[in-house]
Structure 1
């Protein structure tokens, strides 16, 4: 799923989303342009256009999408 400009997570560290704690789903990689960041650390700052690779249950992934895309 893509981080969109103007969403609350854009420009904020990944850890502040508390995605895994809140949803049970995990963000296992971030794709930024041609670069792939596997196992991103909580301090990694998300930017508009980043694509998050998420694994988990259908409900967990949907919940992460709501957190990330508002």
Structure 2
């Protein structure tokens, strides 16, 4: 996740990624740590890597949401 994303320092649930795309964010890789099955309250940080499962279009939709 880039620093310019509108979702940096905001809870994952604010993206509404699953309801908007059908794809699910199943983990967040943050440095050496992995947050498996993140809750909607997990705050996203610049540099996070989101692990997303879904259709090709769903995954592309999550990327578009995160980029703003």
Q: Which residue in the other structure is 1:12 paired with?
A: 10
Q: CA deviation at 1:7?
A: 1.2
- Alignment size in residue pairs: 68
Q: Which residue in the other structure is 1:22 paired with?
A: 20
- Root mean square deviation of aligned Cα: 0.5
TM-score scaled by length of structure 1: 0.95
Residues of 2 paired with 1:59 and 1:6: CA distance? 23
Runs of 4 or more consecutive aligned structure 1 residues displaced over 2 Å after TM superposition: none
**Superposition pairs for residues 1-70 of structure 1, below 5 Å?**
3-70=1-68
Give the unaligned 5+ runs of structure 1. none
Residues of 1 paired with 2:67 and 2:29: CA distance? 16
TM-score scaled by length of structure 2: 0.98
